[in-house]
Structure 1
Amino acid sequence: MCLIVFAWRVIPGVPLIAAANRDEYYDRPATPAGPWPENPNVIAGRDLRGGGSWMGVTLDGPGGPRFAALTNIRGPQEKRPDAPTRGALVADFLQGEQSAADYIERIAPGSGVYNGFNLVLGDRDGLYWFSNRGLDDPRNGKPLEPGIYGISNGLLDDPWPKVMRTKAQFASLLCQGAPEEAYFEMLADTTRAPDMRLPATGVPIEMERMLSAVCIESPGYGTRTSTVVRLYAGAPPELSERVVQPLCPEQAEAS
């Protein structure tokens, strides 16, 4: 997951609304969001190479339905090829029974073994952001206050152009009571940011331009899925997914 905007306790009766894009290499196989055969309570996509996930919900569990999402932090100079898969953090939380606070307390001491990540997880009663990079941020690992938030491949609410633009559009859609289709249209925006507003993340400027779009298009890498999630106060959660690019190499060859 490389862009997620979410509203926490902004809409009455809907504690959490999230809209997200997953960006990945097209040749990395994955399954679409759905119940996991070994645990049908989990609704999520699955990375078939690492075995983890990037975003999902549970239908029920301790504290009611739960939510988890992950984005990678872009840091090419820091990336270690031998680091464990970050997607396991989402999968383990969704399949476990620990509260978000207890889970963060458990993983925090050893989180440095992973490449940089942002983790958003919680339930109807509490939502948390945890990163193994922004450890000085007072929000890190603490319950989030009600509001609208955005994360790409930096830290929470870093003012990257696509984060700021999508948060503003997201807030407008929430105020309008817009239909789900409008959120998917927001996530399909391929506009690239002007060079003067691009973040400096250690990749070449041509790549910064390509990655600055909400919906990324390039020959071998880009937005693979778009997802909208809702946690309700008194009903099961909803997760809607749109496949933007093929999830598996076999699908790409057949298309």
Structure 2
Amino acid sequence: MCLIVFAWRPGHATPLIVAANRDEFYARPTLPLAAWEDYPGLYAGRDLEAGGTWLGVAPDGRFAALTNVRDPGQPVGPRTRGELVAAFLQGRQTPLEYLQQVARRAADYSGFNLLVGDAAQLCYFNPRVGPPVAVAPGVHGLSNAALNTPWPKLLNARNGLEAVLERPATGSLVALLADNRQPSEAELPDTGVGLATERLLSSVFIASPTYGTRASTALIVHADGRRELLEHSFGPSGARLGEVVLSL
């Protein structure tokens, strides 16, 4: 997952609203958003190469999502980051307890941002930034740096989310994730991957023959516990492949 924008509003009629794009090589085998038969009540996409996931929901209001940290010089961790999302969704720890446990073994993973929550709390952890913390109420964004790092794609998506918060709908959330505008060269971050790759990765929605946005996912959590999900999936060059609609 490479871009997540979300509104965390405890006490609101819709306390959590999420719009997220998962960017990956098209050749990596993946299952779309669905129920996991081996874990009743867990709904997520599934990475068939390593077995984890990038975003999902589970009973008791549990939600988790992940982005990687873009750093071509970092060592490759021996464990898959996708298991961090799946393990929280399968467990019973509070968000903060879980992230504190993850912090003790963070060296097992390549760089990551991990967002986990339940009906009472939403927490964030990036081991390069500091210890796990509770997320303050508000509108936030995660790309491939730390929380709210103002990359142009994050600012564009966060502005798009703010524009639909008065009347949120999963369709409008997925629509804002389709933004393929690329910023000027002067606005691009320098993460060590070269100008051409920085430019490719700079838009909210990424499309190329080999790498791009594989899934756009919208989640609306209601105060009474109802959850609405919409996922659009994509193939090479951004070709639309399918749609999943869930009401839980």
Fold equivalence (TM over 0.5): yes
Report what 1:170 is aligned to: 161
2:12 matched residue in structure 1: 12
Distance 1:10 1:242 in 2: 28
Are the aligned partners of 1:4 and 1:18 in contact in 2 as well (CA < 8 Å)?
Answer: yes
Q: Please give the per-residue CA displacement for 1:33-89, whole angstroms capped at 9, x wherever unaligned.
A: 11101112100001000100000001x2xxx21100000000001142x52100000
Give the C-alpha shift of residue 99 in structure 1: 1.0
Q: Separation in 1 of the partners of 2:233 and 2:13?
A: 28
- Once residues 179 and 42 of structure 1 are traced to their aligned partners in structure 2, the CA distance between those partners, rounded to angstroms, is 22
- Between 1 and 2, higher relative CO (CA 8 Å, sep ≥ 6) is seen in 1
Distance 1:119 1:104 in 2: 8
Q: Does 1:108 align with 2:109?
A: no
Per-residue Cα deviation, 1:98-157 (whole angstroms, up to 9, x for no partner): 11111111110110221000000011210001112112xxxx511111100001111100
Is residue 86 of structure 2 the alignment partner of residue 86 of structure 1? Answer: no
Percent sequence identity over aligned pairs: 44
State whether structure 2 residue 208 is matched by structure 1 residue 218: yes
Once the two structures are superposed, the pairs formed by residues 52-131 of structure 1 within 5 Å of their partners are 52-58=52-58, 60=59, 64-80=60-76, 83-131=78-126
Gaps of 5+ in 2: 242-248
Q: Distance in 1 between matches of 2:71 and 2:9?
A: 32
Structure 1 residues not aligned, in runs of 5+:
none
- Pairs aligned (count): 237
Question: What residue number does 2:144 align with?
Answer: 153
What's 1:240 paired with? 230
**Corresponding residue SS for 1:94:** helix
1-structure distance, mates of 2:27, 2:133 = 36
Q: Structure 1's 142 and 222: CA in aligned 2 closer, same or farther, altered over 3 A?
A: same
Partner of 1:194: 184
Instruction: Tell me if the contact between 2:11 and 2:223 (Cα under 8 Å) persists in the aligned partners.
Output: no
1:42 aligns with 2:42: yes
Q: Distance in 1 between matches of 2:133 and 2:90?
A: 22
Amino acid at match of 2:63: F
1:144 match: 135
Asked if structure 2 preserves the Cα contact closer than 8 Å seen for 1:16 and 1:124, the reply is no
- How many Å separate the matches in 1 of 2:144 and 2:88? 21
Answer with 4-13 or 15-24: which moved more.
4-13
Q: State the Cα deviation string for residues 163-213 of structure 1 (Å, max 9, x = none).
A: 0111111101113x1433222111011111110000010101000000001
What do you get for the CA RMSD once the two structures are aligned? 1.5
In the alignment, structure 1 residue 181 sits paired with structure 2 residue 171: yes
Residue pair 2:62, 2:116 contacting (<8 A) in 1 also: yes
> Which amino acid letter does the alignment assign opposite residue 9 of structure 1?
R
- C-alpha spacing 1:50/1:15, structure 2 compared with 1 (3 Å): same
How far does residue 30 in structure 1 lie from its aligned partner after superposition? Answer: 0.7
Deviations 1:6-32, CA, capped at 9 Å, x for gaps: 000178211100000000000000101
Return the TM-score normalized by structure 2.
0.92
1:134 is aligned to 2:124: no
Asked whether the 8 Å contact 1:10–1:147 carries over to 2, the reply is no
- For 1:150, give the aligned amino acid: G
Q: Is the 8 A contact 2:171 2:230 kept in 1?
A: no
